[in-house]
Structure formats: C-alpha cells, structure tokens
A and B are shown apart, each in its own frame.
Chain A
Amino acid sequence: MICVEHLTKRYGNHTAIEDVSFVVNKGEILAFLGPNGAGKTTTMRILTGFMPPSEGTVTIAGFDSFEHPQEIKRRIGYLPEHPPLYQELTVHEYLTFVGRLKGLLPALIPGRMAQVVEQLNLGPVQHRVIEHLSKGYRQRVGLAQALIHDPPILILDEPTSGLDPKQIIEIRHLIQSLGESHTIVLSTHILSEATAICGRVMIIHCGHIVAEDTPEHLSSRFRHTQKLNLTVKQIPEGWNDRLQNLPGILHVAQGSLANSRIIECELGQDSRDTLAQFAVSQGAGLLELSPINLSLEEVFLHLTEQDEPMGPDSDFEHSATQQEHSRP
C-alpha cells in the first residue's frame, strides 16, 4: 500500500531524513517512534504530499507521489501534529468543508458525518464553534477530519496528544478497529501506545531508521541477558548470595514485592529449572517464576541514546557487540 524508497529530505545544510526506505502493507498499523527532531513528522509530511522529498520515491496505492499527487491525497486521511482547525467554524461546518474538499460526494456527507461523530463522541459539540472547544475535543475533531472521507490510508501524527487517559484508551481502540480495514501509519512518543496498537514499530533516530520490527521481536532482538522474576513465600537467610552463586546467574536484584527478586541470567541458558529446584530445596515456597521481556522503552533508550546515528541492521550488530564486551 505504501512503498518508500531511499527517501532523503534536506533543509539547506540540514538533513532531516536520509535514505529512509520501508513498506507498509494493506491493513497494517505501523508506528514511528523517535525522539523530537528525529524525522518522524518530515517523513509523514512527505507521505501526505505536503512537501516533496529531496531524493527518493514514494508510491502509495500504486500512484507515484510526483506524478499523481492528487490521487494519493484523495486516499489519505492525515492528522498533523497540530490539528488543522478553522477556529471560527462549528465542528459540523468544518467536517462538511473537509469532506467536500477531500472529494466526498455531498449525498454521502450526512452519513459519514453521523458515523464519525459517533466514533469520536463529538455529538455534544458538533454545533459548537471550534474556538470554544477544549484541547481534547479539538484533537478529536482533528482526527474526525482525517476520517470523514473514509480514506483507505490514515497517517496520524501523535493522535492521542492532548487527550485524557479515558479518551486515549477510546482512541486506541478506535485506531485498532480502523486497522482492520485501513492502512495506518502513526507517530507517537508514548511507547506503550505503540506496543498496544501497532503490528510493527519503526524507530527513527537522527533521520535514519535504526530498527524496524514487531514490538515483541524488537524486545528479543536487543536482549543481551534473560531476566526472570522469582517470587517465593518466605525469604531464607542469605537468599541473594545463594542465588548469585548458582550457575548461569549474573545478577540478583530486589523485585517489586518484598519476597520477589529480579534475576539476570546468561542469554541462551534457561535457568528456570535450576531456580525452581533451588527454591524448593531451600524450603522458600515457590510462588512465581516468570521471564521478563525487555520493554520497548528499554529498546528505545538503547537505540536513541547513541550520539551518532546508526545504519540499519549491520550497525546494530556492531553496537550490540560493543555492549556485549563492556558487560562484566
């Protein structure tokens, strides 16, 4: 559905993104993750036709962005970082205008309007002037304008920005449900959001794609040790030292509960059996023994804390190896 090849965007001497390539398949939800200024918004703006790339090609729904920009624009619903709202119009007037501008037939507008208003809970404010709406409502009106013409592709720049926790959950559910029939590219700085709703995550740093995979695969890919959570009924004396002396155990730390411990083991060596037997033999009373996956936050920090941008996979291997060596 979306095919981006060797995309580069330069603003004078500054390179915002460089040699970015990726594909988004139909019905897929892809999240762009990255620190501020990483190039997420630039990439999205190029996808939507707001700005042309300095180099590279974008093909959306089979149309080249240079040759058929209008065809692409008809098929995209775009929510920019700042919702593009005409303050003096009412929500109803604004959505009608956007629907007509995007090519929606006048006869279809009332039906789509009712659907979008219901999806985004805009009923109570649809005849109010946008200027008088709260930030949360404005964000939802912004999302509504992206959906009003029922585009097959949605590009959403921080769609849950400015919403309260309840609204965030609602919008996440909406995006997930839209993902069944739409192709969605979204950017977010809320990592749990990417984990919760996206099938694939792309981490952008300093204008380069530094990682691209499912959240689960990213977690396992950048894991250098295996972490286990061990909870017992009662803590025997010298418990930490005894655990530390077991084969394959690298480090023992306090867990979230008083009688739980986070145990770091060597990767590739399954220590669960050893730990279970040990806990039972010590009479500690085994309550829980479960693996802890590396969170997306840890992956994100690991990738974006580098000073210099890294290339794709090969550079990663290098970075991973370095970390391996520095490990005690």
Chain B
Amino acid sequence: MTPVSILISKELRCFFVSPVFYVVGTIFLFISGFLAHLMVVNAGQQAVRLLQIQHSYAQLNLNDLVFRQLFYSMDMVLMFVLPILTMRLFAEERKLRTFELLLTSPIGINEIISAKFMSVLLIFLGLLSLTAFTPLVLSIYSTFEWNPILTGYLAMALQGTFFLSCGVLASTMTENQVVAAFLSFGIILAIWLLGSLGGLLGDTILGTTLSYLSFTEHYDRLIRGLLDVKDIVYYLSGTGLMLFIAHRIVDSHRWQ
C-alpha cells in the first residue's frame, strides 16, 4: 500500500468511529430525503390541479418539477453540511499534535493533503450515492429522463468536491474545528456572492469574470442537463487551487 492509501484508510476509520460522521450523515440524508418528499408532494398537488382543470391525466415532467428543484435546494445543503465534515481534517491534527507524526513520517505534504481530501471525498460520494434512492424509487412509479438526473448528480459531486477543497483549506488555517467550519462556510459563501455581484454588474468584463468565478452559473448549467467542459474545468481547477493553497499553508507552518 502507498502512504496515501494507508492514510486514507486511517482517515476513514477515524470517520467511522466518530459520532460527528453519523450525525452529519443522518442530517444530510434526512434533509435530502425530506426535500425530495416535498418536491414529490408538490408535483402531486400540481397533477391534481391539472386533473381538475383538464379532466384528464396530465403528463408531468418530473425532471423539472422534482429533480431540478431538488438539485437547486441540495446546493444549500452541501454548503452547510460539508464544512462540518472537513473541519477536523487538519485542525484536529494540529490541536492534538498528531501532525508532528505525519510530518516526521516518510510522506510528503502533497500526499497528506491528497489523502485527507480523498478520504472526505469518498465519504461525501458515499452519502451522495445513498440519495440515489429517490430517483430509483420514483422510476418504479413514473417515467422521466435519466440524463438530466445524471448531470445533476455530476453537478452535486463536482460542487461537493469544490466545497470540500474549500473546507480542507479552512481546516489548515486554524487549530479550532468550529472556527474551521465557519471559515469554510465563509469561503464558500464569498465565492457564491461573487455570482450575485457579477449579476449586478451585468455584461461588463468584470461582471462576466465575477460570474464565471462563482460556482452558481456552472452549477445551474449542469443541473439543467447541459454538460459543458468549461464547467467541469472550473470545478476541477477551483478544487486544485484550494488544495494548492492548503499545501502552501501547511508548508508555511513548518517554517513558523
């Protein structure tokens, strides 16, 4: 096994014995399930209204009425939940002085950051895959297009990956886990607000640039079923940038 896989397995072990993981996982799945339930109930009410107006069964578009709405709402859920998953990654290591063990072991800082990021990404993807229960169950009772759902899940996965990298960065900045969680949320919120600022500035160069820097327009495109390479490049480069800054911060701690 490589040092990265050894560290990933240890991180996963720590996650699975931590109550935080179970609390966060339960909240995440409960909220996503509850939101899906609300969307389905809403779609049902619309079907009844259409039935009353048209006196015939209407063909509802579940992609628009349920899934797109669900994916929109999940954006906020990820924004609140993922910082709690990442807050302990480096903050706890520094607080408990276990980082000294890692930095004096034959493993590089880039490997440490990769392993910690990969471990939390695996946890997130595992939780996300459990939400696939909703479309799978609905597919038994209804018909809908699968492609927008797959791009929606890709959007959530990429969005989550980016948020996790922001969380990793925040966790390298402090020894306090709560501060790390708020810092992570603050970074994500600031990037989100760039989109609103870009919208206010309109079609100017600054406005377009700020809108591009925010994840809002990229996420919107993906959940509408538009698969564009530039959106994927945005998420991957954003994630890479956050992890690079995290690497520089960890390295700078060694000099302090």
- B6 near A100 with CB under 8 A, answer yes
B76 at interface, CB cutoff 8 A: no
In the bound complex, what is the Cα–Cα distance between A155 and B111 (angstroms)? 24
0/1 interface trace, chain A 94-128, chain B, CB 8 Å (1 if under)? 00011011110010000000000000000000000
- B17 near A88 with CB under 8 A, answer yes
Most chain A Cβ neighbours within 10 Å, of B1, B3, B10, B96: B10
- A100 near B97 with CB under 8 A, answer no
A217 at interface, CB cutoff 8 A: no
Q: Which residues of B contact A85 (CB under 8 A)?
A: 96, 98
- A73 near B13 with CB under 8 A, answer no
A221 to chain B, nearest CB (A): 34
CB contact list, B81-123 vs A, under 8 A:
96-108
- B6 near A73 with CB under 8 A, answer no
- B254 near A52 with CB under 8 A, answer yes
Q: Which residues of B contact A50 (CB under 8 A)?
A: 100, 103-104, 254
Which B residue sits closest to A94, measured CB to CB? B10
- A76 near B104 with CB under 8 A, answer yes
In the bound complex, what is the Cα–Cα distance between A303 and B254 (angstroms)? 31
- B105 near A102 with CB under 8 A, answer yes
Q: Which residues of A contact B3 (CB under 8 A)?
A: 101
B8 to chain A, nearest CB (A): 11
Which A residue sits closest to B104, measured CB to CB? A48
- B96 near A101 with CB under 8 A, answer no
Q: A73-B104, A97-B10, A101-B3 are in contact. Are A84 and B98 (CB under 8 A)?
A: yes
A78 at interface, CB cutoff 8 A: yes
CB contact list, B29-69 vs A, under 8 A:
none
A89 at interface, CB cutoff 8 A: yes
Which A residue sits closest to B16, measured CB to CB? A88
Which B residue sits closest to A82, measured CB to CB? B97
In the bound complex, what is the Cα–Cα distance between A83 and B105 (angstroms)? 14
- B6 near A86 with CB under 8 A, answer no
In the bound complex, what is the Cα–Cα distance between A155 and B50 (angstroms)? 77
Q: A85-B96, A85-B98 are in contact. Are A49 and B103 (CB under 8 A)?
A: yes
B84 to chain A, nearest CB (A): 17
Among B10, B97, B104, contact of A49 (Cβ-Cβ < 8 Å): B104
CB contact list, A272-288 vs B, under 8 A:
none
- B107 near A101 with CB under 8 A, answer yes
CB contact list, B153-190 vs A, under 8 A:
none
B149 at interface, CB cutoff 8 A: no
Among B100, B105, B107, contact of A80 (Cβ-Cβ < 8 Å): B100
Among A51, A88, A106, A145, contact of B101 (Cβ-Cβ < 8 Å): A145
* Residues of chain A at interface, number, CB under 8 A: 30
Q: Which residues of A contact B97 (CB under 8 A)?
A: 80, 82, 84
- A73 near B106 with CB under 8 A, answer yes
In the bound complex, what is the Cα–Cα distance between A144 and B78 (angstroms)? 41
Among A49, A70, A89, contact of B14 (Cβ-Cβ < 8 Å): A89
Most chain A Cβ neighbours within 10 Å, of B10, B18, B97, B106: B106
B79 at interface, CB cutoff 8 A: no
- B1 near A73 with CB under 8 A, answer no
B102 to chain A, nearest CB (A): 8
- A88 near B104 with CB under 8 A, answer no
Q: Which residues of A contact B101 (CB under 8 A)?
A: 78, 80, 84, 98, 145
B255 at interface, CB cutoff 8 A: yes
A161 to chain B, nearest CB (A): 13
Q: Which residues of B contact A84 (CB under 8 A)?
A: 96-101
Which A residue sits closest to B105, measured CB to CB? A101
Among A51, A86, A100, contact of B254 (Cβ-Cβ < 8 Å): A51
0/1 interface trace, chain B 118-132, chain A, CB 8 Å (1 if under)? 000000000000000
Q: Which residues of A contact B100 (CB under 8 A)?
A: 45, 50, 78, 80, 82, 84
- B6 near A97 with CB under 8 A, answer yes
Q: A51-B254, A80-B97, A101-B3 are in contact. Are A86 and B10 (CB under 8 A)?
A: yes
CB contact list, A22-77 vs B, under 8 A:
45, 48-52, 70-71, 73-74, 76
Most chain B Cβ neighbours within 10 Å, of A82, A89, A100, A106: A100
Among B1, B106, B255, B256, contact of A74 (Cβ-Cβ < 8 Å): B106
In the bound complex, what is the Cα–Cα distance between A89 and B9 (angstroms)? 12
0/1 interface trace, chain B 1-32, chain A, CB 8 Å (1 if under)? 10100110010011001100000000000000
B250 to chain A, nearest CB (A): 12
Which A residue sits closest to B19, measured CB to CB? A88
A66 to chain B, nearest CB (A): 13
Listed by A's residue number, 23 A-B pairs whose Cβ atoms lie within 8 Å are: A45-B100, A49-B103, A49-B104, A50-B100, A51-B254, A51-B255, A52-B255, A70-B106, A73-B104, A73-B106, A78-B100, A84-B97, A84-B98, A84-B100, A85-B98, A89-B10, A89-B14, A93-B13, A100-B1, A100-B6, A101-B3, A101-B102, A101-B105
**Which are the 3 A-B pairs with shortest beta-carbon distances?**
A84-B101, A84-B98, A70-B106
Could you tell me which A residues sit within 8 Å of B by CB distance?
A: 11, 45, 48-52, 70-71, 73-74, 76, 78, 80, 82, 84-89, 93, 97-98, 100-103, 106, 145
Q: Told that A84-B99, A101-B3 touch, could you supply 13 new A-B pairs with CB distance under 8 A?
A: A49-B104, A50-B103, A50-B254, A73-B104, A74-B106, A80-B101, A80-B104, A82-B97, A84-B97, A86-B14, A89-B10, A97-B6, A102-B105
